Structure 1
Amino acid sequence: MTDLEKLCSRVTEAADCAVITDDVNRRYFTAMKSSAGTLVVFPEKAYFIIDFRYIEKAKKTVTACEVILQDKLYEQINSLIKKHGAKTVSVNADTCTLSELIAYQQKLNAEVIADTKLAEIIREIRTVKSQEQIDKIIKAQRIAEKGFAHMLDFIKVGRTEKEIQLELDYYMLKNGAEALSFDTIALSGSNTSLPHGVPSDKKVESGEFVLMDFGATYDGWHSDMTRTVCVGKPSDKMKSVYETVLTAQLSALDAVKAGMPGKALDKIARDIITEAGYGDNFGHSLGHGVGVEIHESPYASPSREDILPENSIVTVEPGIYLEGKFGVRIEDFVVVTENGCINMTKAPKELICL
């Protein structure tokens, strides 16, 4: 069963039909990238209404539903509503804007349901990956790992953070990435204590950490990894902090399995960091899902109740950040299995000194 067929089979849990217009979910369910288009989903059938700019591509690409050339959009949706006898329409609360909701309420000949049920169904479908989807994520990850290997020869004293960022971005895009998963983080020295810092003109100095958080996309599917390396010789404290983070990550990786609460996985890594005296310096959650978005369900967070289902993907990325001094983060991401996990990240993570 395709993901769109799964949505068709469950749409009545939310309403008689659903309207999806956001770029991410439209591409997820149709397998076509576009900046416009409306997916209308009924239990019996789905329709993709798209304008002239994309109609030729849609006819060749979209096979899971009927493709319709857009003319008068709301009249076309109303015609489908009448054809299928729908009385209620659901919109995706995660992405529908207030102006869009008002337009639907004013122009559609059906009651518009503005609750979270459709969003929950979509999240549940997207959380569990097929093997084909996992394979694409792995391809994205291999591109990123080639970029990391390249950067080990590029990083040196005197390079700026921006130069490191641009070189890594260019290498991934040149070597098969459709796009970047997100804005690459490349930090050095005291800036590495900023979990999501922005690359600057700061130059790398000897004895400093360089932290890189980055990813590539392949056919719309994202990868995500973080590595922290040292240029020159690290201090004893830098080595100690690095080993603490690595121990926390390896312990969490050993514990991952389907059915586990994400907050329990987070606790395993957090307890190790806390026992080492750095609990207050690990201020973010352990992990998040990755797929057609860089952050999606499930989450391994102390503040959430997510359960990790089989064939979901979750990052494992503990960190310690010492303000004004340095920070360390090590991130892999895994496929959750019945009795463990498959780590899709193959890049080395023992402390590398350049």
Structure 2
Amino acid sequence: MSALLDNSSPVKTNVDQLREKLVASELDSMLITNLRDVRWLTKFSGSNATLLLTRDALWLFTDSRYAEQVKHEVTVAECIITSDGYLAELKTQRYPTGARVGFQADNLTVVSLEKLKAELPTLSLVPQTNFCDEFVAIKALEELENIKRAVSITDKVFQKLLEMMSPNVTECDVAAEISYWNKKFGAEKDSFDPIVASGSRAALPHARATDARLEHNSLVVIDMGCVVNGYCSDQTRTVALGNISSDARRAYNAVLDAHLLGIASAKAGMTGKALDGIVRDFLTAQGYGEAFSHSLGHSVGLQVHEQPIIGKKTEMVIPVGAVITIEPGVYLPNRFGVRIEDMVLITDSGAAPLPAAPKALIEL
């Protein structure tokens, strides 16, 4: 297979975009070591790969475990199977890197960078951060279909959970059911370890499921997702198990209103900081400003957390085609917590929610 690009490939546009950035950054080539970016560019899903992108060629270096796999997954790069690693290949000088070589400084370890400098001392290594993020944020149709399938599975799993939740089951029981039903409905795996927290533990935004039984007359926060063809879903619902206090109900309604405001306010071209601020100001006016302790959301794709982050410091613009989460929360220590999270697609006309699971408070 030639290292020159296959012009019939649907991934060509992604590579062309990176090549334009390569030229604009005054680089002769770029080493791509982030496996998320490797998969986005080439569809290769293995656990060991490095790409060398030049101004007219693309090589993928991997090991013999993937000799057959690359034949089925990769059409846009020449695949080099090596037992000695990509550095050994580059030292042969068969690959014209040019003098100025970029590397992913936000991915390459210090040890790997020092080895790169030692093995290829004549190269001028230029650190790059977030090199692919602006392009990865814009989802192609095939990517959107995979995300929608993952979201659909998450919706189905949530309905299964409602059938089994009671004070007789533990948080770990619920988490195990999430993992089971994800695969039963066709997902590859969970997109992250499920969060299941009831009672006062729901005030921990990233609580780990425990062997504690679900607390009666309390709120239960369930944050879960799955992976389909590499693409993630991420959804949170808070349900009432038994009777809840008027304070808990008020907090739930405030979070729901904030969530809906976030969806209604999301527009292409605004920064993550601006969108976060709209929802944060609303919750502050409701008396919950200090209780909303995390960012409003994040982009989702091949990783469950991608750029742009929808947070207080994010200046990155939200583009048309991005899939982001809107997930406001209120957390009152030693009392209760509430979070509602949906994924939305950013379009020319606003934000289109992807999940179908109900948002009104479910009381079991």
Give the TM interval when normalised to the shorter protein: over 0.9
Post-superposition CA distance 1:311-349 (Å, at most 9, x none): 112110001111100000000111111220111121111
Shift of 1:154: 1.0
Q: 2:90 corresponds to which residue?
A: 77
SS of 1:279 mapped into structure 2: coil
Contact 1:40-1:77 within 8 A present in 2 as well: no
Distance 1:311 1:43 in 2: 27
Q: Which of 75, 96, 101 pairs up with 1:89?
A: 101
Shift of 1:79: 4.2
Distance 1:245 1:75 in 2: 54
Distance 2:279 2:329 in 1: 9
Q: 2:228 corresponds to which residue?
A: 218
Q: Which of 80, 83, 104 pairs up with 1:68?
A: 80
Task: Name the one with the larger helix percent.
Answer: 1
Shift of 1:234: 1.9
**One-letter amino acid of the structure 1 residue matched with residue 288 of structure 2:** Y
Contact 2:64-2:83 within 8 A present in 1 as well: no
**One-letter amino acid of the structure 2 residue matched with residue 77 of structure 1:** L
Check 1:351–1:85 CA distance in 2 against 1; reply closer, same or farther (3 A cut): closer
Q: Is residue 338 of structure 2 the alignment partner of residue 325 of structure 1? A: no
Which runs of structure 1 show a deviation greater than 6 angstroms over 4 or more consecutive aligned residues?
none
**One-letter amino acid of the structure 2 residue matched with residue 327 of structure 1:** G
Distance 2:121 2:92 in 1: 9
Q: Which of 30, 33, 47 pairs up with 2:59?
A: 47
Contact 2:240-2:363 within 8 A present in 1 as well: yes
Q: Is residue 17 of structure 2 the alignment partner of residue 6 of structure 1? A: yes
**One-letter amino acid of the structure 1 residue matched with residue 18 of structure 2:** L
Q: Which of 25, 40, 44 pairs up with 1:32?
A: 44
Q: 2:207 corresponds to which residue?
A: 197
Contact 1:209-1:326 within 8 A present in 2 as well: yes
Check 1:159–1:58 CA distance in 2 against 1; reply closer, same or farther (3 A cut): same
Shift of 1:189: 0.8
Q: 2:68 corresponds to which residue?
A: 56
Distance 1:206 1:60 in 2: 51
Q: Is residue 346 of structure 2 the alignment partner of residue 336 of structure 1? A: yes
Quote the RMSD (CA, aligned, Å).
Answer: 1.6
Contact 1:227-1:329 within 8 A present in 2 as well: yes
The answer for unaligned runs of 5 or more in structure 2 is: 1-11
Q: Which of 310, 316, 330 pairs up with 1:306?
A: 316
Check 1:21–1:349 CA distance in 2 against 1; reply closer, same or farther (3 A cut): same
Post-superposition CA distance 1:8-27 (Å, at most 9, x none): 33323342111123332222
Shift of 1:109: 5.8
The answer for unaligned runs of 5 or more in structure 1 is: none
Shift of 1:37: 2.1
Q: 1:243 corresponds to which residue?
A: 253
**One-letter amino acid of the structure 2 residue matched with residue 32 of structure 1:** F
Distance 1:85 1:96 in 2: 18
Distance 1:100 1:260 in 2: 37
Post-superposition CA distance 1:106-145 (Å, at most 9, x none): 11264242422xx333111111111211111111111111
Q: 1:276 corresponds to which residue?
A: 286
Q: 2:150 corresponds to which residue?
A: 140
Distance 2:71 2:16 in 1: 19
SS of 1:148 mapped into structure 2: helix
SS of 1:115 mapped into structure 2: strand
Distance 2:80 2:349 in 1: 45
Distance 2:68 2:95 in 1: 25
Q: Is residue 142 of structure 2 the alignment partner of residue 129 of structure 1? A: no
**One-letter amino acid of the structure 2 residue matched with residue 178 of structure 1:** E
Shift of 1:170: 1.1
Q: Which of 231-240 and 191-200 deviates more?
A: 231-240
Distance 1:265 1:226 in 2: 19
Check 1:158–1:331 CA distance in 2 against 1; reply closer, same or farther (3 A cut): same
Q: Normalization by structure 1: what TM-score?
A: 0.95
Q: Normalization by structure 2: what TM-score?
A: 0.92
Contact 2:29-2:97 within 8 A present in 1 as well: no
Distance 1:48 1:111 in 2: 20
Distance 1:288 1:134 in 2: 16
Distance 2:217 2:83 in 1: 63
Q: Which of 219-228 and 69-78 deviates more?
A: 69-78
Distance 1:27 1:52 in 2: 18
Shift of 1:85: 5.9
Identical positions, percent:
35
